[in-house]
Amino acid sequence: MKSPRASVALLGLLLGCSEATPYSPTDADVEKPDVDSRTDTLAPRVGRCAAWTDCTADRLRPVCDLLSGRCVECTIADDRCAPADHCEAVTLRCAPGCRNDEGCASPTPRCDLVRHQCAACTLAAHCPGAAACVDHRCAVSTCAAGRGDCNRDPADGCEVDLTRDAANCGGCRQRGTETCNLADDDCNAACDDLDGCRVGIHRSNGPEHFYTANREEAQCCGFRVETYDYFYLYSARAPGAVALYRCYGNGHHFYTSREGCEGGGVLEGVIGFIATSAVCGATPLYRMRHPGTGDNFYTTSGPERDSAVGLGYASVELAGYVWTRPRG
């Protein structure tokens, strides 16, 4: 069907009108497609995405970054990288470094999500027993006195007895040196195992029972030696040991750790230092007195003490603790 203007122009040619205006088609003359066939103007422009479904065709970049409208390998919110990889925030690409515990294995089975590195632990709950997570490693934070975590293995905790392990004596990887201090400094199960720490006390009998550290004195002046080195005292003051004074009063010698000779005698000196407890294998020293003769008797033997009671001696007190060996 021709437009009215085209018909007029044809009629002009037929009538010989040479002055007719040349024909020019207008927008109204151009056929337009049906409205239903137009492309939906709400669809995304070519090269941009609005949802993950827009990127499903791209196997290498399957995730939609809504901020840039680009299909990318991953986003922080949609990390599809392998467990041993993680989504790098700047490039939105998979980079080496764990993103969860599945990407880690023993002995570092936990993923530090901040550093994207595998570690032994990230929480105290990942460690056994009372161990704590210190610098991404399970460690025992504190040990009881005398114990040490020397192998740094929280599974066995404070496994070393620092008082008995010669290789870890007093502390991990330390070796002690023995001194005269009523202690096992080198952790060999023997206290003061060197000469000079203890002095031997000899027991004599005669006019009375007599105790001295001097061998010549032990056998003079009417005394007969019953036992040399009957017991040992410490040769110098030390923690846990006090002076044992030799006193003379009422015609007899007696030995006491009380200063002033108990207010009833003359001080003749200190014969050694006696322990106040059973430290380093010390044994009790029993003090007896005969009420009739005034004799003072000291023994380390329970049966001998009981026998003395049968002979009329009375128990006075536990004088302290002494040793039966010169060392160890």
CA distance 323 to 281: 7
pLDDT in tens, 151-170: 887 778 788 999 889 999 98
- The answer to whether 82 touches 64, Cβ cutoff 8 Å, is no
Type of residue numbered 154: P
Q: How does DSSP assign 178-195, residue by residue? A: --SSSS-TT-SS-TT-ST
pLDDT in tens, 194-244: 999 999 999 999 999 999 999 999 999 999 999 999 999 999 999 999 999
The 8-class DSSP code of residue 279 comes to G
- Distance in angstroms between the alpha carbons of the first and the last residue of the chain: 131
Alpha helices for the chain (secondary structure H): 4-15, 215-218, 302-310
Residue spans per domain, the chain: 46-119, 198-322
Q: Is 63 exposed, middle or buried, given 0-12, 13-18 or 19+ CB atoms closer than 10 A?
A: buried
Backbone angles phi, psi at 168, to 5 degrees: -135, 65
Instruction: Tell me the CB-side half-sphere exposure of residue 309, using CA atoms within 13 A.
Output: 10
CA distance 320 to 322: 7
pLDDT in tens, 84-95: 999 999 999 999
Q: How confident is the model at residue 134 (pLDDT cuts 50, 70, 90)?
A: confident
pLDDT of amino acid 46: 53
Q: Give SS3 for 97.
A: coil
